[in-house]
């Protein structure tokens, strides 16, 4: 299952992916294996999880090893015009080329987390990719104003296992009602809304409680946080309510609510990548803060925290 020969790859360990696929299954001699295959597979999978950068090298070992570890290479996919500190992801164009080459009908099934920040010229490419990633559980879409007119919705509704979503819903459901009880929202547990205006709150938030498994919600670049909080504070299923504080002075809780968190953060994509690869992100940060308040370690009047990447502190 080689990558297409025309795929422009940067000088990186990913170049070795093509080399690892030069062998055929018949070339893989397992007679030299000193461990049972089940145990050998565990060893290689642990190694792949521990160091993403070594996966292309591990894939050179044997055909069976490539079959075991390749899926970890495509677990996190990122489309961005900027460089990011972590390299524990595959660029979007590599995944797209692999899908379009039809060299593997299952490559999309390896993808679990995807961030589409910017850089896609053809939104149809995004739709094609989403449709072929049925087990995607975490999707971050940012910076696509008016993308619904280009047909993003069919790609989204095809995601039946989505658990975490960051998106501007008004950009997707243009002139359409949002049914939070639909299959698309059935497994959703974490939702971050981008750019939601106060005039959109009744349409977007009124039916939010219909999402059967939604427990965490965050608002980013929103207007009138108090109005949004007033609408959703009666939703008892919600365990965490976050308002991203990027300098606004009006982020205050509408009333006493220990689920309310004002979070100051600027490195959004880096935080998403950290969460996708390690499980530690702003959601887990807010959860720890709420737990500290409920344990009496933080004064109940404190609700604002600042994310520094590896620690947090609070202010009244």
Q: Which of 223, 163, 151 is nearest to 188 (CA)?
A: 163
300/256 Cα distance (integer angstroms):
9
54/254 Cα distance (integer angstroms):
49
Give the range of the structural domain holding residue 43, as residue numbers without chain letter: 1-71
For residues 56 and 116, membership in a common domain is answered with no
Question: Could you say which of 38, 71, 104 is where a domain stops?
Answer: 71
Place 308 in a pLDDT band, splitting at 50, 70 and 90: low
For residues 52 and 84, membership in a common domain is answered with no
For residues 303 and 220, membership in a common domain is answered with yes
pLDDT tens digits, one per residue of 9-18: 233 333 233 3
Orientation angle between helical segments 268-278 and 282-294, nearest 10 degrees:
80
For residues 90 and 60, membership in a common domain is answered with no
- Say whether pLDDT at 133 is over 60: yes
For residues 66 and 80, membership in a common domain is answered with no
- Say whether pLDDT at 120 is over 90: no
What is the CATH number for 225? 3.80.10
Q: What is the pLDDT of residue 82?
A: 61
pLDDT tens digits, one per residue of 183-232: 888 999 999 988 776 677 777 788 888 999 999 999 987 777 888 888 88
For residues 32 and 96, membership in a common domain is answered with no
pLDDT tens digits, one per residue of 137-162: 999 987 765 554 456 777 888 888 99
Segment 97-102 long-range contacts (CB within 8 Å, at least 24 positions apart): 97/3, 97/4, 97/7, 98/3, 98/4, 99/128, 99/129, 99/132, 100/4, 100/128, 101/3, 101/4
For residues 251 and 220, membership in a common domain is answered with yes
Give the residue with greater pLDDT, 1 vs 155: 155
For residues 268 and 236, membership in a common domain is answered with yes
198-222 exposure pattern, b = at least 16 Cβ within 10 A, e = fewer: eebbeebbeebbebeebebbbbbeb
269/147 Cα distance (integer angstroms):
20
Residue 119: CB atoms within 10 A of its CB come to 14
For residues 81 and 57, membership in a common domain is answered with no
Place 259 in a pLDDT band, splitting at 50, 70 and 90: very high
For residues 277 and 235, membership in a common domain is answered with yes
Question: Could you say which of 71, 92, 109 is where a domain stops?
Answer: 71
- Highest-scoring range by mean pLDDT, 7-21, 96-110, 235-249: 235-249
- Say whether pLDDT at 115 is over 60: yes
pLDDT tens digits, one per residue of 23-76: 444 445 555 557 788 899 999 888 888 777 788 888 888 989 988 888 888 889
What's the domain count of the chain? 2
For residues 253 and 274, membership in a common domain is answered with yes
133/205 Cα distance (integer angstroms):
28
Of all residues in the chain, the percent with pLDDT exceeding 90 is: 18
Question: Could you say which of 27, 51, 71 is where a domain stops?
Answer: 71
For residues 169 and 303, membership in a common domain is answered with yes
């Amino acid at each position: 299952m080689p990558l297409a020969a025309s795929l422009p790859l940067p000088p990186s360990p990913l170049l070795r992916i093509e080399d690892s696929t030069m062998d055929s299954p018949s070339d893989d001699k397992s007679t030299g294996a000193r461990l049972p295959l089940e145990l050998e597979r565990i060893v290689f999978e642990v190694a792949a999880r521990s160091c993403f950068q070594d996966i292309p090298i591990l894939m050179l070992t044997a055909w069976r090893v490539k079959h075991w570890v390749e899926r970890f290479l495509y677990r996190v996919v990122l489309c961005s015009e900027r460089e990011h500190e972590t390299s524990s992801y595959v660029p979007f164009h590599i995944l797209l080329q692999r899908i379009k080459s039809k060299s593997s009908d299952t490559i999309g099934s390896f993808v679990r987390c995807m961030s589409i920040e910017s850089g896609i010229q053809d939104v149809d490419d995004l739709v094609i990719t989403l449709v072929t990633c049925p087990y995607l559980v975490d999707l971050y879409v940012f910076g696509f104003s008016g993308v619904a007119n280009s047909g993003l919705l069919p790609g989204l509704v095809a995601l039946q296992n989505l658990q975490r979503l960051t998106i501007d819903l008004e950009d997707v459901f243009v002139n359409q009602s949002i049914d939070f009880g639909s299959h698309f929202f059935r497994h959703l547990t974490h939702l971050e809304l981008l750019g939601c205006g106060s005039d959109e709150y009744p349409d977007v938030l009124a039916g939010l409680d219909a999402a059967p498994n939604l427990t965490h919600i965050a608002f980013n670049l929103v207007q009138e946080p108090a109005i949004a909080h007033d609408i959703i504070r009666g939703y008892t299923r919600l365990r965490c309510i976050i308002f991203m504080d990027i300098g606004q002075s009006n982020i205050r809780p509408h009333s006493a609510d220990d689920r309310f968190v004002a979070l100051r953060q600027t490195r959004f994509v880096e935080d998403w990548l950290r969460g996708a690869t390690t499980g530690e992100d702003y959601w887990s940060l807010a959860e720890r803060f709420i737990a500290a308040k409920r344990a009496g370690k933080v004064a109940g009047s404190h609700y604002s925290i600042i994310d520094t990447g590896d620690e947090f502190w609070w202010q009244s």
